[in-house]
Amino acid sequence: MPELPEVETTRRGIAPHVEGREIREVIVRERRLRVPVPEGIEDALIGQHVGTLGRRAKYLLVPVAGEAGESRALLWHLGMSGSLRIARLGDLPRKHDHIDLVLDDGVILRYHDPRRFGFLDWLQGSVEADPRLARLGPEPLSPEFDARRLHTLSRGRRIAVKPFLMDNAVVVGVGNIYASEALFLAGIDPRRAAGRISRERYELLAAAVREVLAAAITQGGTTLRDFISGTGEPGYFAQRLNVYGRDGQPCRRCGSELRLVTLGQRASVFCGSCQT
């Protein structure tokens, strides 16, 4: 599933090709996504200009505005296997290419999603008021995310620290891959109760989250199966994974065999020697 670094990589990759361009045509080949593609969107977007792309958690925000000044925003989610890439007029669609936004210079923003768990929808009202976004926690690379927040919210919590860190009400965008990697860097056992971790160790964890996500964005995200960037490139952070997907292999730090457990119905790999 594309996580925050993959969505941010997508945003950065497609932004130079679509921002400021006029939408000339919208082609919907498959409406039956996780949220059905809104009826009439093909006509509603014609003549609209794309604004500055944004991102909130794993959602891509695509503002559009017409000549009369009215503005709306598209909410795009990549689901488990979705990707947005840049194509051009004459590039034939492949199987599972469900939506095209054709721009005035011949560029096509093309949505591909084999499992159809993603969606394209209109935002109703402001970004902050949309129910899908209103209850989200802070961005992990923002000043609002820090050790004090983690320590305060975790007091009295018996939940294991890994699912606590993956709770979007605590902080957004720290999915299974990056939670595993951040906990390894911080030396924290993912099974440890969130409420029993000290403020000092949360300082290490908050710094590790920022380090891992920043590195993943720089590397273009993590490609394990489906993900490609907006320009068609895979993500190279998979080559730097310390624990995720490496159960039974030696720890890169101490050589101990990495262990696999299930936490919150998600597979978790960790080093029993380095993480306590």
Smallest Cα–Cα separation from 86: which of 242, 233, 224, 271? Answer: 233
Class of domain 147-270: mainly alpha
Angle at 199 between CA 197 and CA 201, to 5 degrees: 60
What percent of the chain stands above pLDDT 90?
A: 78
Mark whether 148 is an active-site residue: no
Q: What's residue 227's pLDDT?
A: 40
96 is in an annotated binding site: yes
- Of 11, 55, 56, 58, the catalytic one is 58
- 3-state SS assignment for residue 268: strand
Q: How far apart are CA 231 and CA 249, in angstroms?
A: 33
- Of 2, 5, 140, 163, the catalytic one is 2
pLDDT (tens digit, 9 = 90+) per residue, 126-159? 888 889 999 999 999 999 999 999 999 999 999 9
Query: Please, what sign has the CA dihedral across residues 249, 254, 255, 260?
Result: negative
Instruction: Report the range of poorest mean pLDDT among 60-64, 178-182, 227-231.
Output: 227-231
The mean pLDDT value for 90-111 works out to: 97
Q: How far apart are CA 2 and CA 227, in angstroms?
A: 7
Mark whether 2 is an active-site residue: yes
- Of 116, 253, 259, 266, the catalytic one is 266
The mean pLDDT value for 169-183 works out to: 94
pLDDT of 113 > 80? The answer is yes
Smallest Cα–Cα separation from 214: which of 124, 114, 145? Answer: 145
- 3-state SS assignment for residue 85: strand
Q: What is the separation of C-alpha 55 from the centre of its chain, rounded to a whole number of angstroms?
A: 9
Smallest Cα–Cα separation from 26: which of 11, 51, 48, 4? Answer: 48
Q: How far apart are CA 226 and CA 1, in angstroms?
A: 8
Residue pair 4/36 in contact by the 8 Å Cβ criterion: no
Q: What's residue 48's pLDDT?
A: 94
Phi and psi at 19, nearest 5°, equal: -65, 130
Spell out the domain ranges in the chain. Answer: 4-134, 147-270
Surface-to-core class of residue 246, CB atoms within 10 Å of its CB (0-12 exposed, 13-18 middle, 19+ buried): middle
pLDDT (tens digit, 9 = 90+) per residue, 16-52? 999 999 999 999 999 999 999 999 999 999 999 999 9
- Token pair listed for 105: 């210079």
Residue pair 150/144 in contact by the 8 Å Cβ criterion: no
Which helix (H) or strand (E) covers residue 161, if one does? helix 161-165
Mean pLDDT of all residues belonging to the chain: 91
Mark whether 3 is an active-site residue: yes
For the domain covering 4-134, report its CATH number: 3.20.190.10
112 is in an annotated binding site: no
Q: What's residue 240's pLDDT?
A: 77
DSSP string of 117-141, one letter each residue:
--EEEE--S-TTT-HHHHT----TT
What percent of the chain stands above pLDDT 70?
A: 92
The mean pLDDT value for 177-201 works out to: 97
Q: What is the separation of C-alpha 35 from the centre of its chain, rounded to a whole number of angstroms?
A: 18
pLDDT of 162 > 60? The answer is yes
Are 4-134 and 147-270 in the same CATH fold?
A: no
115 is in an annotated binding site: yes
pLDDT (tens digit, 9 = 90+) per residue, 210-259? 999 998 888 875 544 444 444 555 444 566 789 999 999 999 999 999 99
Q: How far apart are CA 264 and CA 28, in angstroms?
A: 36
Instruction: Report the range of poorest mean pLDDT among 33-47, 95-109, 184-198, 214-228.
Output: 214-228
What is the DSSP code (8-state) at residue 94?
P
Residue pair 235/221 in contact by the 8 Å Cβ criterion: yes
